[in-house]
Structure 1
Amino acid sequence: MQAVRKGALREGAFAVSLLGGAPPSCGILKELIACKPCPREMKKPTVFVSQGQALPGWGSRPQRLARPAADSCGTSVLPGSDRSAYGCRVETRPGPEACDTDSVDHCAAEMAAELSSQIAEETTRIREILESGIPEIRSDARLRQLLWDSVKGNLNAILHTLQFDIHAERVEAPSAALEYARRLAQNDIPVNSLVRAYRLGQTAFFDQALVLITRRALAPELKLTVAHRIFTVVSGYIDWISQQVIGAYEEERSRWQDSSSGMRAVRVREILAATEDSPAPSDLGLGYGLDQYHLALILWSPEHRADDLALGELERAAHSIAEHLGAVRPPLFVAVDRLSAWTWIPLGERVQVDRPSIARKVTGRGDRLSVAAGRPASGHRGFRTSHEQAKVAQHVAMLHKPHPRRVTFHEEPGLAVADLLAKDLDGTRAWVLETLGPLAADSESAARSRETLRAYLNCGSSHKAAAASLNLHYNTVKYRVRKAEQELGAAVADNRLAIELAVLACHWLGRAVLSPGATFPEERALP
């Protein structure tokens, strides 16, 4: 190929702009079109001809020309025999005729297969990009998991479309993507957040595709044609699926607002969003007074339950708990989505509730209902505060693996600290491993040692009190503490605060901060 001049970068940028995206970096363009450094001075502008376009090396925008013929090498040339008729030097580039369809499809399918082998990592990467660019979609733990499922479903569909040459119109939107759109509608998150998520995801996917293209030893024209092929397929898919998910969003939004539950949810959200300076209403207008003590609960069911059954069970459970606590009136029940609900139990003038009885009531059920509770609080501010505390408790409960905690109270010792540690799980996991060493392992023996240490520290480093709380013999607790200190390589008293916090994080966050198979080759011994 003849040396490519300064106009090559413009040609690459123009070609990429035709694909609907911002021009990539100069490094990527050089890979795509194999450009070489240009001289500082050019006596005449260079014109490239590709796909019937005259592409100036500098100056005015490209102008459409008649579609050129191709020579025997598949190189497109300007019509006419005088190539300098435009008053400038003309260099020719191989057009798309040189890249047969089979080669392009084969390359695109190979790259789709490569991305399919990295589907989990790519899904996580795109979800992080979406959550960073759209803050309103990252507040709820269940929405975040559903977003991951939605991204994975869309990625699988796109990659299959590329691999097997499936027309976008024949592809159904992934069920997780449709359900995610409905949940956004139920949570009063605007539809433009949904649209932006698909656009940001499209850009993130194409960025990764360009990286894969530049790594391959392909002819420059083939690289550009493959990029065009991938972008065309992805754009067509996004356009088609966007129509389906937006339709699902709007349908659910209309249904939700038309229902009495939806109207109640709108009113409650208005109260929760009110600022401290807003006038405090004494009544929600829904038969629930604010001038009393409230206990806020969040109830949710496992994902596999049928929608109507789950909501019905949640409401019955809320009324059952309220009756068990002797509520002065029926609870305020607000469906958040099809599998979770907010509830406020009216306590009148009572400030305390029997937490153990609530736990027994919930765990005694035959289902997997989970409940997170705030602290009883009064008035308009207490209505909001107790709910925010319940959300914190739910956040911690949802992080506990493999199953969420069944009953979680915000006032339980250490929960608020665990919520702070959960804001940086990677950092917390590394710190727990550094602090606890082998005791940070995800194993039964390490878990037994951690729980013994937690009881020992909670009881003021008393072996006798810890034995009573664990229902163990005094010597058993003493032996376990001594063995744990050997694993730690130091006495507990030497680093009490760090060890207590690390053990607390393991207790509340479980596998989210544990290190599978954490071991140390050297023998840890007390000094």
Structure 2
Amino acid sequence: MEVEWPSVREPAAQRVWRKVLRPVAAEMQASAGDLAKRAVARMQTELPGLFPDAQTVEENLVSTEASLRQLAQIIELAWDPRRLDLPPSTLAIARSGVQRQVALTDLMRFYRLAQEQVWQWMFTRITATARDASDQATALELATNWLFAYADGAMVRAEQAYEVELDVWLRGTAATRAAAIGEILAGRERDAQRASTRLRYEVNRHHIGAIAWVEQAPENGDVQSILGDAFTGLARVLEAESTLVHPLGSLAVAGWVSRRRVLAVGDLDAVMGVRTQAVPPGVRMALGDPGRGLEGLRRTHVEANHARRVASLVGLRGGVLIRYRDVAVAALATTDRDHAQSFITRVLGRLAADDETTYRLATTLSVYLEENRSRIRTAERLTVHPNTVSYRVRQAEEVLGRSVDTETLDLQVALAMLPALPGLAHARVEEL
């Protein structure tokens, strides 16, 4: 194996590298996820302004883990850290910091705090592994050189990405548009004509608000471009006349599509019918209900945001396209997570179990109650035989330990909330 890093070319240094540092690098690779969580948790305490919401926390977790894995690979292969580019997720964080109006000094402090935390972890591993004083000193010197060179290069590249994005931001209309969107969503902007001028988007039309996101940055391809394609697909299906897209961070965008003709619930049904064609692979999208004018633009965005929150709780069971209309009850009922979890488990009992068989029974029962106990309509929606519906409903009643002919309101609400239960439980564990 060719050694790039000059400090490792001496025979003694190569021996310590193989004996001490390569195993530490392998351990860093294996522990990258846990290390990232600990580092970001500390950043949340030290720099709370950098983490306004759960999405930003998740983005920084992805970015930090990718950087740790890259550093571990550099040490394991004795590469020169000065020649490497940052992971795409890390560069995306730097660029999105401009859009979120994060100060460059705060971004740089994030790197310094992360560097300190990683060094402490490496120091502990090296001193525990290298018993010989001379080997320990050599290993610490090599590790220090690698870490500081990597951190210095990372900070330079992050600062460059930030400055390039800032230049684009300041020279374009993005800042004005972002300020206008903020005032509209906060309810401070009430003049539709002025809002249209600032947004360069006609407000006095019919809108559908949406939020598109990816769980992590792809290896190839620009995230914002991919998410923009999702809005292009949505606009095409709805025959929309204009589109407005606004970055929410490195992995998500919010936006609206609009047209002069009325947008109705039936139009959203059409979108759901071609969801796989409308949404690019790897992208998820949450939709609000149609709205008109300035207030409608604000309301449909709020609804899309609620739909996205439910989608994050439900996970992939919710599919790639989530309508607020379909999850409105769950959105209303899961704002208090502890209360929601307690309500679901109390009402459903064993029917709230997380295995696929029980979940299928619960899903069938939910549709059966929505269809006013019609086996035929339930079977049509689930594409099964009516006898299958009857069988599953009887099984669900056995699991519940009661008939579904009484107390149906609590039961229907709990069933509507059920897909979010794993996410509610997971969020509770993280908070603890």
TM-score (norm 1): 0.60
TM-score (norm 2): 0.71
Matched with 1:394 is 308
Give the CA RMSD over aligned residues.
4.7
**CA 1:395–1:227 in 2, change beyond 3 Å: closer, same or farther?**
farther
Matched with 2:331 is 416
Matched with 1:479 is 391
Distance 1:405 1:245 in 2: 34
Alignment of 1:123 with 2:36, yes or no, is yes
Q: Give the number of equivalent residue pairs.
A: 404
Structure 1: where are the runs of 5+ without partners? 1-99, 325-329, 516-527
**CA 1:272–1:137 in 2, change beyond 3 Å: closer, same or farther?**
farther
* CA deviation map 1:236-287 (0-9, x unaligned): 3212211111211221232344345x356434444346564x6656322144
Matched with 1:70 is none
Structure with greater proportional helix content: 2
* Residue of 73, 89, 94 corresponding to 1:160: 73
Q: Identity over the aligned pairs, expressed in percent?
A: 21
Give, in angstroms, the shift of residue 393 of structure 1: 1.8
Matched with 2:6 is none
- SS of 2:194 mapped into structure 1: coil
Give, in angstroms, the shift of residue 507 of structure 1: 3.3
**CA 1:111–1:499 in 2, change beyond 3 Å: closer, same or farther?**
farther
**CA 1:116–1:297 in 2, change beyond 3 Å: closer, same or farther?**
closer
- SS of 2:201 mapped into structure 1: coil
Query: Which amino acid in the other structure matches residue 179 of structure 1?
Result: A
Give, in angstroms, the shift of residue 416 of structure 1: 0.8
Give, in angstroms, the shift of residue 131 of structure 1: 4.8
**CA 1:494–1:140 in 2, change beyond 3 Å: closer, same or farther?**
same
- SS of 1:375 mapped into structure 2: coil
Distance 2:412 2:127 in 1: 50
* CA deviation map 1:323-352 (0-9, x unaligned): 36xxxxx32422527886433344669585
Matched with 2:239 is 323
Matched with 2:361 is 449
Greater shift after overlay, 294-303 or 351-360?
A: 294-303
**CA 1:193–1:380 in 2, change beyond 3 Å: closer, same or farther?**
farther
Distance 1:411 1:494 in 2: 26
* Residue of 296, 299, 309 corresponding to 1:385: 299
Matched with 1:181 is 94
Query: Which amino acid in the other structure matches residue 323 of structure 1?
Result: E
Q: Which of structures 1 and 2 has the bigger CA Rg?
A: 1
- SS of 1:117 mapped into structure 2: helix
* Residue of 243, 246, 266 corresponding to 2:178: 266
Alignment of 1:283 with 2:197, yes or no, is no
Give, in angstroms, the shift of residue 494 of structure 1: 9.1
Structure 2: where are the runs of 5+ without partners? 1-11, 427-432
**CA 1:430–1:387 in 2, change beyond 3 Å: closer, same or farther?**
closer
**CA 1:364–1:289 in 2, change beyond 3 Å: closer, same or farther?**
closer
* Residue of 343, 346, 349 corresponding to 2:255: 343
- SS of 1:334 mapped into structure 2: strand
Q: Which has the higher contact order (CA 8 A, sep 6+)?
A: 2
**CA 1:371–1:206 in 2, change beyond 3 Å: closer, same or farther?**
same
**CA 1:477–1:159 in 2, change beyond 3 Å: closer, same or farther?**
same
- SS of 1:288 mapped into structure 2: coil
* Residue of 225, 229, 242 corresponding to 1:313: 229
